Amino acid sequence: MHLGFWKDLKNTGFVGLSPMDGVTDDIYRTMMAREGAKPIFTEFNAVEGLARNAVKLLEFFEYDGSTERPVVAQVFGIEPESFYSVAVMVAHLGYDGIDINMGCPSKKVEHRGA
């Protein structure tokens, strides 16, 4: 099993930054990274929109590669094909990982089955 950046954080006593919709924007993430938070997570983003070229959603995936490391893209959705497309996109954007949100308490997300 390949653990990627997690193996490097294993014994460091790290503090992770939890993704929070409407809070974890690029400015907040940069501030937290400068304070030592690792890993850095984006706000969650809908895979269906990203897979259908919703360019506006890409703004949520902007990050500062010099300070926000390791950086993880958080996504949610219901279509396996869209998850695959977005995983490829995230890899091309240089992310260190991808997190599939499976426990959002938002009624809007929950009612979609995402």
Alpha helices in the chain (DSSP H): 5-9, 26-34, 47-51, 80-92, 107-112
**Residue 93's pLDDT is what?**
93
**Residue 11's pLDDT is what?**
64
* 11 vs 102, higher pLDDT: 102
Instruction: Report d(CA 54, CA 47) in Å as an integer.
Output: 10
Instruction: Report which residue type is found at 9.
Output: L
Q: Which residues are catalytic?
A: 104
Q: Quickly state the pLDDT bin for 82 (edges 50, 70, 90).
A: very high
Q: Quickly state the pLDDT bin for 77 (edges 50, 70, 90).
A: very high
